[in-house]
Structure 1
Amino acid sequence: MINQKKTGYTADQIADWYLSKSNMSPKKLQKILYYAYAWVLTLTNDDINHLDNKLFDNNFEAWAHGPVIYSIYEEYKLYGYNDIPKYEGNIVKLPDDISDILSQVWDEYGSFTSDQLESITHQETPWINAREGLSPLASSNKVITDKDIFECYIERVA
C-alpha cells in the first residue's frame, strides 16, 4: 500500500483532470469522480479501520441518479444533460501512483455512458446501503460512507 495521508487534492482539480481527457455530461463526470475516489480509497489504504488516504475530502451523496458531490453538481448543473466542454487549462500534477489509478478508472469506466454508469452504481452496495428505506426517485443527501466503499471494492482486488 502507499504510505501517504490525504492526497490534498480537490474534487474540482480531479474533475479538471478527467475533463482534460474528454468532454462529458455532468452525470458522467460525477460517476467517474466516484470511481476515482473509490479506487484510490481502496487501493491506498491497508484496511477498513484506517481509511486515511483519500483522493479529496468531499463526500458523495446517494442521489436518485447515483453518487453525487454537491459542489460539483452546483458547478456544472447549468449543462443539464449536455456535455461539459473538454478542459483546456492547466491540470494538477499528480504522483505516478495516483495518476495510474485515475488512468485505470478512465480506461475501465470512460467508455460507458452516464446512464450506464448510473445503472452500475445502482447495483453496488455503497449506493444501495445509503439509499436504504428510500423509494427509487426520492431525494436524498445521505452520505455514502468510506467504509461501505472500501468494503465493496476491496472484494474485487483479491
Structure 2
Amino acid sequence: MMIKAQVNDVVNWIIKKSEDDGQPVTPKKLQKMLYYSYAWGLVFLNESSNELDNKLFDTQFEAWVHGPVVPSIYRQFKSYGYGPIDKNIEYPHFDEETTKILNDVWEAYGHLNGDQLEYVTHQELPWRKKREGKQPGSPSDEKLSDADMFEYYGAQLI
C-alpha cells in the first residue's frame, strides 16, 4: 500500500491554503475539503475499485449528520465551533502528484463554504448510501466505502 501523506499534514495544507486565499476555513469546511481530497486521491492514484492500495492519506470517514467526518480531526478542531480555524502554520512539503491533487480539489471546491459543501456531500452516493434508513438527525459511525467513493467520483470524469 502506498500512502502519500499524513492526514494532519493535509489538514494543515487546507488550513494554510484557505488562509492564503482569504477564505478562513471552519471545522465543517475542513472536514469536507479533507473528504474530497481523499476521495479524489483514490480516483487519481488507483486504476480500479478492486485494488485501492494507493491513498492520499490513511483514514476512514464516517457518515455523520453533517456529512463525511474523520472523528479524530473533528475532536482536534471542535473548540472552534462554527468559527474559522485560526492556526499559524506553514505549508507541509508534498511530492508533485500530491500537491496537484490538493490544488485540483481546492480549485473545484475551495470557493464553497462549509454549509454549501455539506449540501453537496448530501446529494452524493457515498454518504447517502451509509445514511440509508437513518433519521436525518440521528448519529452514525458508519464508515464510507473507498470503493463507493472511487466508483462515484471516477464516473464524474467520464
Residue 116 (structure 1) aligns with: 116
Cα distance, 1:92 vs structure 2: 2.2
Residue 29 (structure 1) aligns with: 30
Residue 10 (structure 1) aligns with: 6
Q: Distance in 2 between matches of 1:114 and 1:90?
A: 23
Aligned to 1:30, the other structure's residue is in SS state helix
Query: How many residues were matched structurally?
Result: 153
Q: CA RMSD in A?
A: 1.2
Aligned to 1:137, the other structure's residue is in SS state coil
Aligned to 1:21, the other structure's residue is in SS state helix
Q: Which runs of 5+ in 2 are unaligned?
A: 19-23
Residues 1-158 of structure 1 mapped to structure 2, 5 A cutoff:
5-7=2-4, 9-22=5-18, 23-85=24-86, 87-158=87-158
Aligned to 1:62, the other structure's residue is in SS state strand
Q: For residue 119 of structure 2, what is the amino acid of its counterpart?
A: S
Please give the TM-score of this superposition, normalised by the length of structure 1.
0.93
Please give the TM-score of this superposition, normalised by the length of structure 2.
0.93
Q: For residue 85 of structure 2, what is the amino acid of its counterpart?
A: I
Instruction: Note the alpha carbon deviations across 1:13-63, whole angstroms, 9 max, x for none.
Output: 100011111221000000000000000111110001000111111100000
Give the 4+ runs in structure 1 shifted more than 2 A.
87-92
Q: Distance in 2 between matches of 1:40 and 1:19?
A: 18
**88-97 vs 127-136, which deviates more?**
88-97
Q: Distance in 2 between matches of 1:63 and 1:138?
A: 8
Q: For residue 12 of structure 2, what is the amino acid of its counterpart?
A: D
Q: Distance in 2 between matches of 1:44 and 1:27?
A: 26
Cα distance, 1:10 vs structure 2: 1.9
Q: Distance in 2 between matches of 1:148 and 1:133?
A: 18
Aligned to 1:91, the other structure's residue is in SS state coil
Q: Which runs of 5+ in 1 are unaligned?
A: none
Q: Distance in 1 between matches of 2:89 and 2:116?
A: 28
